[in-house]
Amino acid sequence: MGSVSLKIGDGSARFRRASLCSSAVNLLMLFSVITTNLFALYAFTYSPKDHQTYHLLHHTQKNISLISEQVALILREIDSSQKKLAQMEKELLGYESIDLSNPNIANELKVFLQHHQLPLGKDSKTGITEMVASVGHSCEKSAGLLSQYMNYKVSGPCPDDWSLAQKLILRGCEPLPRRRCFAKTVPKVGLDPFPISLWKPVSDKIVSWSGLGCKKFECLNAKKLSRDCVGCFDLVNGSENERFVKARSKNDFLIDDVLALGSGGIRIGFDIGGGSGTFAARMAERNVTVITNTLNIEAPFNEFIAARGLFPLFLSLDHTFPFHDNVFDLVHAASGLDVGGKPEKFEFLMFDIDRILRAGGLFWLDNFYCSDDEKKRDLTRLIERFGYKKLKWVVGEKADTAGSGKLEIYLSAVLQKPVRV
């Protein structure tokens, strides 16, 4: 029916346009329309007097049922279009929930994702009625990799595939499904007691190098892994052991200066993209517990941080931080915070940081790389929207590390989260 009314609208529009060109055609058509209608009116209304009321009533009822029939048709049409649109959206995003009846799904994934009714019915404390397993909805997009990941012998050794797991995480498959196999173990011999462990070089033998280009730390030290990690595994030579205690530029703030700004004490913190954990190590020396968030991109960051006696968190920045609101006294982040993509993506991240930081807590943005002035302005505007107090704010320029002579812009700031009411 929708298409019928569309055609009528179209026709009258064309009729109006034509009338501008030729009034003769216009008059002729007007005449024919009027006479047709008059004939129709005559044909429908002509009937003996005593039957007229009955006919009118009959027509009204017929017309109403006709109209409601057509309305129902239109609604069905709209409903089916909406379903089609949703289906297209799902196909585009790959966000269809995993279809467990698909024969290509690994059996272990089916077992893991099965719902289980609680034996005693609804739990009065939580209100839940069944146990469900959680897996990232984007896992469906990487069905092949996921099947490979879930293909193992139950209670046997897992394939040596942590890098496959990371690949899935980077494609948004987070959280990963749990597995019922034993992860490959690496004997951790020669770990030092805390706090000696903070600065002792880590042996090549106690980390897993599978799936990585380098097979020893010496190889990693010769590489620039990221803006925040240049030789960051070298705790003895190089500059890693000077970070946060010795400034190399006005963008480098010292840990003791920042700690002095924290009212009410800084006791626990979160370091985003924290490289080899040096920020957490310096904080540990000051009795502040810091969790270091990092994946293992091109290097065994997590094992290295753990070997130093620090807390590594293996989580991508696409994932909501697994912490409750208002818990951290301090959040530290450097260029690793730059998640790329649309501005909204960065905004979601900033709001999540704001969420886990307590009122009065500090957000330390440390040498954040801004590719150009516009990026710096956008970032500044975003930060200002949060209403933080700027305790420190330094915009600096450095010659770029590639040596092209181009100046790069860096922003360092210590911001205090306000109390919002």
Binding site for ligand NAG (CB under 6 A): 44, 56, 59-60, 63, 201, 234, 236-237, 286-287
Residue with structure tokens 């070298």? 234
Shortest spacing between CB 323 and ligand NAG, in angstroms: 24
* Cα gap 24→136, rounded to integer Å: 69
DSSP β-ladder status, 268-272 and 130-131: unpaired
Least distance CB 44 / ligand NAG (angstroms): 4
In this structure, what token pair is assigned to residue 334?
């450097």
Closest distance to ligand NAG from the beta carbon of 184 (Å): 27
Nearer to ligand NAG, 65 or 107 (CB): 65
Q: Are 345 and 337 spatial neighbours (Cβ–Cβ below 8 Å)?
A: no
Cβ contact 172:318 at 8 Å: yes
267-272-276 Cα angle (round to 5): 90
> What's the CA gap between 172 and 319, in Å, rounded?
8
For residue 135, the minimal CB distance to ligand NAG (Å) is: 41
**CB-wise, 42 or 104, nearer to ligand NAG?**
42
Please name the residues in contact with 416: beta carbons below 8 A apart, sequence gap of 6 or more.
261, 263, 360, 361, 362, 363, 388, 389, 391
Q: Which is nearer to ligand NAG, 59 or 250 (CB)?
A: 59
Annotate 21-34 with b (16+ C-beta within 10 A) or e (fewer).
eeeeeeeeeeeeee
| Residue number with CB closer to ligand NAG (155 or 287) | 287
Q: Which is nearer to ligand NAG, 1 or 131 (CB)?
A: 1
Measured from the CB atom, the residue of 178 and 286 that comes closer to ligand NAG is: 286
Q: How far is the CB of 285 from ligand NAG (least distance, A)?
A: 7
Select 240 or 338, whichever has its Cβ closest to ligand NAG.
240
Q: How far apart are CA 189 and CA 186, in angstroms?
A: 9
Sign (positive or negative) of CA dihedral 65, 70, 75, 80: positive
CB of 202 to ligand NAG, least distance (A): 10
Of residues 236 and 402, the one with the C-beta less far from ligand NAG: 236
Least CB distance to ligand NAG at residue 82 (A): 31
The nearer residue to ligand NAG, 233 or 369, going by C-beta atoms, is 233
Question: Residue 393 CB, nearest distance to ligand NAG (Å)?
Answer: 27
- Asked whether 294 and 326 are in contact (CB, 8 A), the reply is no
Report phi then psi at 36, rounded to 5. Answer: -60, -45
Supply the minimum distance, in Å, between the C-beta of residue 325 and ligand NAG. Answer: 28
In angstroms, rounded to a whole number, what is the distance separating the alpha carbons of residues 314 and 250? 31
The Cα–Cα gap between 217 and 307 comes to 13
Q: Which is nearer to ligand NAG, 17 or 42 (CB)?
A: 42
Q: Render 107-148 in DSSP notation, one character per residue.
A: HHHHHHH--EE-TTSS-TTT---EE-----GGGGGGHHHHHH
Cβ atoms 100, 110 nearer than 8 A: yes
Q: Which helix (H) or strand (E) element contains residue 311?
A: strand 311-313
Min. distance of Cβ 139 from ligand NAG in angstroms?
Answer: 40
